[in-house]
Chains A and B, each alone.
Chain A
Amino acid sequence: MKRYRATIAFVLIVGALIALGYAAFGPQKATAALLSGLTLAALYFLLGAGLSLIFGLMDVLNFAHGILFMVGAYVGYTVFGNPRLILNTAPLFLALAVGMMAGVRLGRFIPAHRVLPYLLGIGVMVWGVRGFPLRPLVAFEPTTAGGAIPTALAQEPLPRMMVRLVQLALAGLLLGPAFARWRREERRASPWRPVALGVGLAALAVLLLLGRDGLEKFLLGLSVDVRFLLALVAGAATGAALGALVETTLIRPFYGRPVTQIVLTLGLMFAGAELVKFVWGKEGRPPMAVPTAFSRSCRSPNLIAWLTEQCFSIDVLGRAFPTYRLLIIAIGLLILAGVALLLKYSRLGMIVRAGVQDSAMVEALGINVRRVFTTVFALGSALAALGGVVAAPFIGVYPEMGSTFQLQAFIAVVIGGMGSYTGTAVGALVLGLARALGDTLVTTGIALPGMAEALRASPAVARASTVLIMAIVLLVRPAGIFGKKE
Chain B
Amino acid sequence: MALLEVQDIHTFIGQFHILQGVSLEVPEGSITALLGRNGAGKTTTFKSILGLTPPRTGKVIFAGEEIQGRPAYEIASMGIGYVPEHRAIFTNLTVEENLRIAERRRGDLKKRADFIFTLFPDLKRLARLPAGHLSGGQQQMLAIARALVPDNRILLIDEPSEGLAPILIQELMEAIRRLSAEVTVLLVDQNFQMTSRLADRYSMIDDGRTVRSGTMADLLKEPEVIRRYLGAVI
Q: Is the CB of A354 within 8 A of B101?
A: yes
The DSSP consensus for interface residues of chain A is: helix
- Give the interface residue-count category, chain A: 20 to 34
State the Cβ distance, A367 to closest chain B Cβ, in Å: 6
Interface segment among A80-88, A135-143, A358-366, A449-457: the answer is: A358-366
Q: Is the CB of A369 within 8 A of B73?
A: yes
Taking CB atoms, residues of chain B closer than 8 Å to A360 are 52, 72
Kindly report which residue of chain A lies nearest to residue B83, judged by CB atoms.
Answer: A364
Expressed in whole angstroms, the Cα–Cα distance for A369 and B101 within the complex equals: 13
State the Cβ distance, A3 to closest chain B Cβ, in Å: 12
Interface segment among B84-92, B184-192, B198-206, B225-233: the answer is: B84-92
Q: Is the CB of A365 within 8 A of B76?
A: yes
State the Cβ distance, A154 to closest chain B Cβ, in Å: 48
Q: Is the CB of B71 within 8 A of A353?
A: no
Q: Is the CB of A365 within 8 A of B92?
A: no
| A350 touches B (CB below 8 Å) | yes
Given A354-B93, A358-B90, A361-B84: A366 touches B50 (CB 8 Å cut-off): no
Q: Is the CB of A364 within 8 A of B93?
A: no
Taking CB atoms, residues of chain A closer than 8 Å to B76 are 363-366
The DSSP consensus for interface residues of chain B is: loop
**Bitwise interface map of B from 89 to 102 toward A, beta carbon under 8 Å scored 1, else 0:** 01111000100111
Expressed in whole angstroms, the Cα–Cα distance for A6 and B147 within the complex equals: 35
Contact residues, A131-189 vs B (CB, 8 A) = 184
| B62 touches A (CB below 8 Å) | no
Taking CB atoms, residues of chain B closer than 8 Å to A364 are 50, 52, 72-73, 76, 82, 84
Taking CB atoms, residues of chain B closer than 8 Å to A347 are 101
Taking CB atoms, residues of chain A closer than 8 Å to B146 are 365
Contact residues, B55-91 vs A (CB, 8 A) = 71-74, 76-77, 82, 84, 88, 90-91
Given A363-B72, A363-B73, A364-B76: A357 touches B91 (CB 8 Å cut-off): yes
Q: Is the CB of A361 within 8 A of B88?
A: yes
Q: Is the CB of B73 within 8 A of A353?
A: no
Residues of A within 8 A of B (CB): 184, 347, 350-351, 353-354, 356-358, 360-370
30 contacts between A and B (CB under 8 A): A350-B97, A350-B100, A350-B101, A354-B90, A354-B93, A354-B97, A356-B92, A358-B90, A360-B52, A362-B101, A363-B71, A363-B73, A364-B52, A364-B73, A364-B76, A364-B82, A364-B84, A365-B73, A365-B76, A365-B102, A365-B146, A366-B74, A366-B76, A366-B77, A366-B102, A366-B150, A367-B73, A367-B101, A368-B71, A369-B73
Residues of B within 8 A of A (CB): 50, 52, 71-74, 76-77, 82, 84, 88, 90-93, 97, 100-102, 104, 146, 150
